[in-house]
Structure 1
Amino acid sequence: MPHITVDYDKPLHDSFDRRRFALELHSLAAETVDGITVESCKTRFRCVDEVVIADGEPGQALVHVDFAILPGRTTETKTALSRAVLELVRAHTADVPGTVVHASVDVVDLGAAYTKHVGGGTSGHQ
């Protein structure tokens, strides 16, 4: 926890430094929400091959962040996190030439049935 999924439009693939974004995002989350640590953050990225925005004019791209956290945080905390993440997205996509980036963030509670396992395995070497 948290589980973060970032969907981004294919035109951003070469200009969006996803690793740097994730590392900054993890620090931001730990600073913004009590109980979140950098070590607990997990971010995955999905490049979306096709996105149609409004009337389909070229030069537009999409970034959407789903941020799932354990329940119990106030609406104010979730709003502060959402706004901070949105600003981070904007900072990381501001220099895409000729592209208007439509960015959004949704902070939600993980479900009551959420469970996880963190464990090791064997290296496969004898």
Structure 2
Amino acid sequence: MPQITIDYSDTVGDAFDRAGFARALHRATVEIAAAEPEACKTQFRPGAYTVFGYEDPEARGHAVVHVTIGLLAGRAEETKAKLTEAVLELLREHVAGTAVTVHASAEVRDLDASYRKYDG
């Protein structure tokens, strides 16, 4: 915990400083949600095909970045909201200089009670 997944359109390309974003996101998660630094795990999943509204997908004028953070249950809604706002601010800083329009979103959710992990 936390389990962080970032889905993003490959149209953001090199404009997305993934390493810098992950470091900053881990710091924010530790500060805001009282997570342990060594527990922060982030996986980036690029998407090769993004469709936005009625735009021809071949135009590739838009990008989607969505961050999902799964935390163990027990955090206040205010804490989750503060973390999602921090995520969006960090995305503004780390997805810069791209010619496409970026549509960013974030969600902090409770991990299901069945959540287990293995370190090996």
**Same topology, TM > 0.5:** yes
| TM-superposed deviation, 1:14 | 2.0
Question: Aligned AA for 1:90?
Answer: R
2:79 alignment counterpart: 77
Q: Is the 8 A contact 1:13 1:47 kept in 2?
A: no
Q: Percent identity?
A: 45
2:41 alignment counterpart: 42
Q: How does 1:104-119 map to 2 (within 5 A)?
A: 104-119=105-120
1:31 alignment counterpart: 31
2:97 partner SS: coil
Q: How does 1:1-126 map to 2 (within 5 A)?
A: 1-34=1-34, 36-56=35-55, 58=59, 59-96=61-98, 98-119=99-120
Q: Which runs of 5+ in 2 are unaligned?
A: none
| TM-superposed deviation, 1:118 | 1.9
Q: Is the 8 A contact 1:64 1:103 kept in 2?
A: yes
Q: Is the 8 A contact 2:50 2:62 kept in 1?
A: no
When normalised by structure 2's length, the TM-score is 0.91
CA distance in 2, matches of 1:56, 1:72: 41
Which protein has the larger Cα radius of gyration, Structure 1 or Structure 2? 1
Q: For this pair of structures, how many residues does the alignment match?
A: 117
| TM-superposed deviation, 1:33 | 1.0
Bigger RCO of structures 1 and 2 (CA < 8 A, at least 6 apart) = 2
| TM-superposed deviation, 1:116 | 1.0
Q: Which runs of 5+ in 1 are unaligned?
A: 120-126
| TM-superposed deviation, 1:21 | 1.0
**Higher mean C-alpha deviation, range 104-113 or range 56-65:** 56-65
When normalised by structure 1's length, the TM-score is 0.87
Poorly superposed stretches of 4+, deviation over 6 Å: none
Instruction: Let me know the Cα RMSD of the aligned residues.
Output: 1.2
Q: Is the 8 A contact 2:15 2:96 kept in 1?
A: no
- Per-residue displacement from partner, 1:75-106 (whole Å, max 9, x unpaired)? 1110000110111011111321x221000001
| TM-superposed deviation, 1:71 | 0.3
